[in-house]
Amino acid sequence: MRIAIIGAGAMGSLFGGFLSKTAELHLIRRSEEHVRAIREHGLIIEKNDGSAQTFHPSATTNPKDISAGIDLALIFTKSYDTESAAHIAKSLLRQDGIALTLQNGMGNLEIIENIIGRGGRAVAGVTSHGATMLAPGRVRHAGVGTTTIAMLPGKEILLSDIVKTFESAGIPVSLTENADNLIWGKLIINVGINALTAILRVQNGILGITPQCEKIMACAVEEAVAVANASGIAIPYPSPLEQVKKVCAATAKNRASMLQDILNSRQTEISVINQAIVRKGQELGIPTPCNCFLSDIIEALEATSEHRIR
C-alpha cells in the first residue's frame, strides 16, 4: 500500500514511523529541519521508558517529489491547514484512493470533501494515541490509545486493506458506522484536555489527579455533552468525564498539541475545539461559559506570545 502522510508533526511522524514498516510511506512536512533530520539520521520514536526505535520513511517538504497514485492520504495537519492539505491529497491520490483525516476538532471532513469530492473520496477517524515532538527527527510516543475509522460505502475492500496495514504496523484499528458520534467523542476528550493543559502548561496526566483541574475540566465537558445531546449525538461512552480522565491517565506524559503550540508561539486549534462548542451552543441556545472562557484565554495567550515574560 502507498501512503502519504500530510502534516508530519508529532502525530503524523508517529504514525508514519510505524506504517513505514508495512507500507510505502511518504511524510510531507513544511519544516526543512525535520525532513533533513529524518533523511540523515532516520525518524526516532522514543517510548516513555526511554527506549527508542529508528525508522526510515521517505520525507519531503515538496509534495511534487511524490509520484501520484497514492492509495491513502492520511491528513494530520492543524485544522487551519486542512484546505491546503486537501489540495495536496487530491493531487496525489489515485482515482479510487481515499483521504483519511485523524485531525482534532470539527469540520475537517467537510472541508476535505469539498475539495477532493464526496461519494467515497474522504473519511474521518479518531485516535487517542499521544505524541510529543522532542526535536527535529525525534518524537515521543507519549500515550497508547485506540484508533477508529468510519465506514465508507463502496470502499470496504480498501478500508479492510488499510486496517490490515495499520494493524501489521502495530496500530490496532476498529471500524464504526457512525462518523458523527466518533468525531464528537474525540471532540469532548479534546475539550476537556487541550486548552486546560495549554493554559496551565502541564502534561495530560496532571489534570486527572488534581482536584482543582478536574473541577474546570468537568465544567467544560458537561457543557460539551449538553451541546452534543441537543444535537442528537449519542456519546460513545457512558461517562464522558471518566473517559476524559482515562485518556489523561493513558497519555499522562504527553504534551497536548495545544500546549505544544502555545509553548512554541504557534496558532492553536481552539477554533475547532472549545470554540466549536461555543458556536454550536449559541445556535442551540445552550450556555457554554466555561468553554467560552477557556477559548478567550487561549486567544489571549496567542495574541501576547511576543510579550511573554520568560
Each residue's pLDDT, cut to its tens digit, for the chain (310 residues) gives: 999 999 999 999 999 999 999 999 999 999 899 999 999 999 999 998 889 999 999 999 999 999 999 999 999 999 999 999 999 999 999 999 999 999 999 999 999 999 999 878 999 999 989 999 999 999 999 888 889 999 988 889 999 999 999 999 999 999 988 878 888 999 999 999 999 999 999 999 999 999 999 999 999 999 999 999 999 998 988 999 999 999 999 899 889 999 999 999 999 999 999 999 999 999 999 999 999 999 999 999 999 999 988 7
DSSP secondary structure code for residue 12 in this structure: H
Please, are residues 46 and 140 in contact by the beta-carbon 8 Å criterion? yes
Q: What is the pLDDT of residue 50?
A: 87
CATH architecture of 180-307: Orthogonal Bundle (1.10)
Report the C-alpha gap between 214 and 206 in whole angstroms. Answer: 9
CB atoms within 10 A of CB 222: 17
Report the C-alpha gap between 236 and 184 in whole angstroms. Answer: 9
Report the C-alpha gap between 236 and 258 in whole angstroms. Answer: 24
29: helix, coil or strand? coil
164 annotated active-site: no
> Number of H helices and number of E strands within the chain?
12, 12
Residue ranges per domain, the chain? 2-177, 180-307
Q: What is the pLDDT of residue 309?
A: 85
Selected catalytic residue, list 186, 245, 246, 253? 186
Please, are residues 195 and 224 in contact by the beta-carbon 8 Å criterion? no
pTM for this predicted structure: 0.90
Q: Which of 170, 124, 139, 173 is nearest to 59 (CA)?
A: 139
Superfamily assignment of 2-177 in CATH?
A: NAD(P)-binding Rossmann-like Domain (3.40.50.720)
What residues contact residue 148 under an 8 Å CB cut-off, 6+ apart? 125, 126, 127, 173, 174, 175, 176, 182
Please, are residues 158 and 63 in contact by the beta-carbon 8 Å criterion? no
pLDDT digits (tens, 9 = 90+) for 230-284: 999 989 889 999 999 999 998 998 899 999 999 999 999 999 999 999 999 999 9
